[in-house]
Amino acid sequence: MDSQPLAGMKFERNKVRLDPELLLFAESGSAIRIRGDGLACDYTRAFRRAEAERLLEECEKQIEYMADEDARVRVFGAWHALPRQQSAYGDPGVTYRYSGSTLLARPWCPVLKEIREHIESLTEQPYNFVLVNRYRDGRDHMGEHRDDEKDLVRGSAIASVSLGACRDFCFRRRPRGGRRSVNAEPRESRGCCRDASGGSESSTEDLSSSGTWSSRTVHNGGSDQDTEQMCEMSGMIHSKLPKLDNWSGNRSGAFENDSVTSKMLSTCQSSASKLKCTIERCANDIAITVSGDRLVMPLEHGSVLVMKWPTNEVWCHALPPRRRDKSIRVNLTFRLIHTGV
DNA sequence: GAGATACACTGCTC
DNA sequence: AGAGCAGTGTATCT
Ligand SMILES: [Mn+2]
């Protein structure tokens, strides 16, 4: 479990199975921290309700979206309209490429500037770009993907601010689009061997010491040396980012209970042996569910989810349709993009 | 230049 | 009827 040489470690996809029965509840108004098995995410409320409402209103007034006819992507050879509205803002000249498309940043508008400043101070990381996705109703969605663009500064975090409708957000380890025959793994029991008892309190630090993810870059010729460098970088940012412990004051209203009942103020920790992932929560009421190999969490109005390295190296995420929902959601993903210089 | 990848869809089962 | 998986059938990037 400790110090093996990076080069000697092997990542085996699907070796680690999530406990399908795991269901975690917490009280709301604060923070969740997920660590382990390649996941490194922090979640908290970033704005109190009234403020979030105002910000959403301003976003609706100020943000301009691509014309529908421009919002198209090509996937698996076919062109499709995006199942959502999209736009991009950022520092002058910053562009972001994904899935063959190039987005050119519009100059910051006041509300995005304001939100960016708040999120920068909360996460202690600068951002020079924000991708805006507007989900008109529960039919709008986003498919599984990783934010693994080369334009992103290696090891930097992505801060995802949610305004409006609460929608589920899913993480999945499995690769999209199963390779056929050649690499197909021999069927392996997909059943839930439920021996949930195990427990074996994994420590929060298994992220940096365990080898489950570290030797494996994704499927593009990253070297072990790259990986080591990223580990170092991640360590740096890791030490700066988790401000969760300091949030118990009234800063940002993170613990203000103006919309929910908040009971426990103690930090509790849960872990599932199969998940090898630690979930810490502070007085929280959102439910994180793990079923099969999916981890699902609702993203509330006024919240921020910080996806840190190495989350996007291995885990896909998606915003699946929720067809019963009728209301809009605006999502802002703040990013740090390489500028040519 | 070869090999991996795919922010989308449909079609199917439950 | 909604949710979630499987399989894309070809351009693009490394
Ligand atoms: Mn994303």
Q: Is the CB of A174 under 7 A from strand C?
A: yes
Give residue A94's pLDDT. Answer: 94
Determine the Cα–Cα distance for residues A313 and A322; give it in Å rounded to an integer. 27
Q: What is the per-residue pLDDT for A30? A: 53
Does the C-beta of A322 come within 7 A of strand C? Answer: yes
- Residue A126's nearest CA partner among A108, A105, A148, A153 is A153
Kindly give the pairing relationship between strand A294-299 and strand A167-172. Answer: antiparallel
State whether the beta carbon of A76 lies below 7 angstroms from any atom of strand C: yes
Question: What is the model's pLDDT at position A304?
Answer: 92
CB A25 within 8 A of CB A287: yes
pLDDT along chain A (341 residues), means of 10: 21 25 33 82 87 96 93 92 96 91 94 95 91 97 93 94 96 67 32 26 24 22 33 32 27 27 27 56 67 87 92 93 96 92 68
Judge if the beta carbon of A155 is closer than 7 A to nucleic acid strand C: no
Q: How far is the CA of A69 from the C1' of B11 (A)?
A: 27
Nearest to A167 by CA among A295, A11, A255, A299: A299
Strand C nucleotides, any atom under 7 Å from protein beta carbons: they are: 1-14
**pLDDT given at position A124:** 84
| Residue A284 CB neighbour total at 10 angstroms | 26
Residue A140 CA, nucleotide B6 C1', distance (Å): 20
Q: Is the dihedral of CA A53, A54, A57, A63 positive or negative?
A: negative
- Coil, helix or strand at residue A290: strand
Q: Is the CB of A149 under 7 A from strand B?
A: yes
Q: Would you tell me the crossing angle of helices A110-123 and A49-62 to the nearest 10 degrees?
A: 140
Distance in angstroms, CA of A307 to C1' of C3?
25
Cβ pair A30, A282 in contact under 8 A = yes
Q: Is the CB of A142 under 7 A from strand B?
A: yes
Closest nucleotide to A96 by C1' from CA: B7
Ligand 1 midpoint to CA A150 (Å): 14
Q: Please, which positions of strand B sit below 7 A from a protein CB?
A: 4-9
Residue A158 CA, ligand 1 centroid: distance in Å: 9
Closest nucleotide (C1' vs CA) to A144 is B7
Measured between alpha carbons, how far is A189 from A174 in angstroms, rounded to an integer?
15
CA of residue A202 to C1' of nucleotide B5, angstroms:
34
Task: For strand B, list residues 88-127 of chain A whose Cβ lies within 7 Å of it.
Answer: 98-100
Q: What phi, psi does A163 have (nearest 5°)?
A: -135, 140
> What is each CA distance from A183 to A156, A178, A179, A215, in whole angstroms?
32, 9, 6, 20
Q: Please give the Cα distance from A236 to A233 (Å, whole number).
A: 5
Quick check: A187 CB within 7 A of strand C? Answer: no
According to the model, what pLDDT value does residue A38 have?
86
Nucleic strand B within 7 A of Cβ A81: yes
- What's the CA gap between A291 and A286, in Å, rounded? 16
